[in-house]
Chains A and B, each alone.
Chain A
């Protein structure tokens, strides 16, 4: 691949639209445009979520009422949790970067069903709007927690019905994306793109897509049943009508356990793709990583019931409790060892994407280990529903999937926009984020160990010092995030053009111009080597 550095960026797919202006985006069937639609929505939701997080931390700066009432505080953390889980973490990597990158990695011109893809985005937007509406209208925000457990959820006067519809629609969007991706990967691989030459990021999307297809319909029927139970009173989960509430929990966890893997697998895929590039070495144990992804997908669909051993499942943390299970621990460990082995004796380039990928490994591992404390029943009694849990799941979700999302941004966005951000600033931002992150969430873990419960706007004066430390940490973190986003967005809009392959990747997306043309490839590509074969790709 000969590297040419053009003076002006060819606008690629940005230059071609079927409709003028914004219509050319919201009615486009181009996978890259749809990916960017998702991306920008997700960035907006994430920013709102972070602002809410900062407000929560500000309230906790001092004991007693600081800036908001208890009621407002409840609404704030519910909204924070809902936005972060359903509108950021779950769709983040697969919908945004999956759409942007996966077809190009396969050598395809688009996904298998472009129109369906557009419809998924619309459903996502409608579902998100309904979910947010349900928090502000009707009988008030759903106070069921996000597990919607019956019988309470069937009786409460708050807006559960609307929220159920929102979940159904978001689920439908997720199913359609999943089946689109599976079909694309089966049918649209370029000539020579054998299964064992598929990049690991696309493999992780494949496994994720199967979970979306297999598990999401179950949550669909479950919330549908909840909905009709509330509207017409078909008491299928109502003991007074002979129903059984436990059945609801079964159906719920058949979905929600695998949902945890929907959150983490794509993040692992991003890391698996980035590490070999910056170590200039083929991925160590490519097949093991592939198999472990598939193993997670299929095993994960079968082990839902372990969520129901314990009570007190009616909160968000349960989603993350799942990380404790040995089932996921083993394939996760396999991946971590493979990443480290890939780095070992590589000629490592410490560029921003790799730094974020490394922080994924670090924070996710810490999060996983603190998960063990929660997994063992004896210690769990001590820290259950304390700030330890809050610290733990931020490590796993934010330190894990969130960091992978940032890594993906720094790795692929320049490709999509054809311009490069300032790498020094990106590195500084990464450092600030890491420091703020640790100050914030390690403080939370400590104060949780000391017994501070979660979901309260107040605390006893003894906890003041460490809470203030956490709040200061949240400011550092927020500053780092701001620096990162500003630098990144400035870069992709105004930065220097760089040609097609700034990192020296061997996968197909680096072989097309940046930004990629509308049809991705001028001629159908023919793949002659594996995704991490830098010698054959002519990079080494």
Chain B
């Protein structure tokens, strides 16, 4: 409708925080499952966890942290009126997201080549706790990967809006919300990484 002249930035951010909260609860369900099964099969979780490649996990952690930095910088850049720089930084974020997903692709393929994937014959021969570990690993990282893609698309959309002059140094709440979403994606990974990759250390 016409006439919604003034924008309520606090409201927009408030709504975004509520949404992030629901995302946390969504992942919370998986973390609860993880906690319960970890308590039940501590031994198997460690032995299965050693099969994950820490290098992939650590690499992706670095990539995501860097991308979050880009987003944070892009907001400052936009507020200072440096539109070109903003777009470069956001492009950097999207490239990071792509690197993350490519990394993930190789990591998963390696696992799948070893016959470790949900429902595989090889998996069925493992101990029950190890099966659970790999299943929940696939579900959690899969859901997280999906969020990486959604986050990247959101940032792409924001870039489009910046290019069209809809998001500017005076009116940047969309960028801030996209950034918040991206930080959430990053944050969840910060929990996933140690829980799955560093479990033995």
Contact = CB atoms under 8 A, between A and B. Distances in A.
Given A18-B1, A187-B8, A113 B30 contact: no
A217 B36 CA distance: 19
B119 A179 contact: no
B132 A236 contact: yes
Contacts of B143: 224
Interface string A444-488: 000000000000000000000000000000000000000000000
Q: How would you classify the secondary structure of chain B's contact residues: helix, strand, loop or mixed?
A: helix
A188 B136 CA distance: 42
Contacts of A182: 18
Interface in A501-528: 518-519
A518 B2 CA distance: 9
A221 B129 CA distance: 21
Q: Which of B1, B25, B36, B41 has the most CB of A within 10 A?
A: B1
Given A182-B18, A183-B15, A221 B26 contact: yes
A114 B22 CA distance: 20
Given A182-B18, A217-B25, A110 B4 contact: yes
A272 interface: no
A251 B4 CA distance: 40
Contacts of B135: 234-236, 241, 243
Contact of A242 (B18, B32, B128): B128
A225 interface: yes
A536 to B, nearest CB: 29
A234 B118 contact: yes
Contacts of A213: 18, 21-22
Contacts of A218: 25-26, 28-29
B185 to A, nearest CB: 16
B29 A241 contact: no
Given A30-B1, A232-B118, A243-B132, A187 B33 contact: no
Contacts of B12: 112-113
B139 A214 contact: no
A233 interface: yes
Interface residues of B, number: 42
A235 B118 contact: yes
Contact of B36 (A109, A224, A244, A518): A244
A370 interface: no
A298 B149 CA distance: 34
Interface in B109-144: 118-119, 123-124, 127-132, 135-136, 138-139, 142-143
Q: Which of A183, A218, A247, A519 has the most CB of B within 10 A?
A: A183
Given A218-B25, A236-B136, A241-B132, 10 more contacts: A183-B18, A187-B11, A187-B14, A213-B21, A214-B25, A217-B22, A221-B29, A234-B118, A241-B124, A243-B135
Interface in A8-24: 18
Q: Which of A109, A180, A234, A251 has the most CB of B within 10 A?
A: A234
Contacts of A518: 1
Category for how many chain A residues contact B? 35 or more
B108 to A, nearest CB: 12
Interface of B: 1, 3-4, 8, 10-12, 14-15, 18-19, 21-23, 25-30, 32-33, 36-37, 40-41, 118-119, 123-124, 127-132, 135-136, 138-139, 142-143
Interface in A109-151: 109-110, 112-114, 116
Given A179-B22, A183-B18, A186-B14, A217 B132 contact: no
A225 B140 CA distance: 10
B118 A112 contact: no
B31 to A, nearest CB: 10
17 contacts: A28-B1, A112-B8, A179-B15, A179-B18, A187-B10, A187-B14, A213-B21, A216-B22, A221-B27, A221-B29, A234-B118, A234-B119, A234-B139, A236-B132, A236-B139, A243-B37, A519-B1
Interface in A175-232: 175, 179-180, 182-183, 186-188, 213-214, 216-218, 220-222, 224-225, 228, 232
A230 to B, nearest CB: 11
A236 to B, nearest CB: 5
Contacts of B3: 109, 519
A285 B156 CA distance: 52
A29 interface: yes
A3 to B, nearest CB: 28
A18 B1 CA distance: 7
A175 B4 contact: no
Contacts of B29: 217-218, 221-222, 225, 251
B4 A109 contact: yes
A102 to B, nearest CB: 15
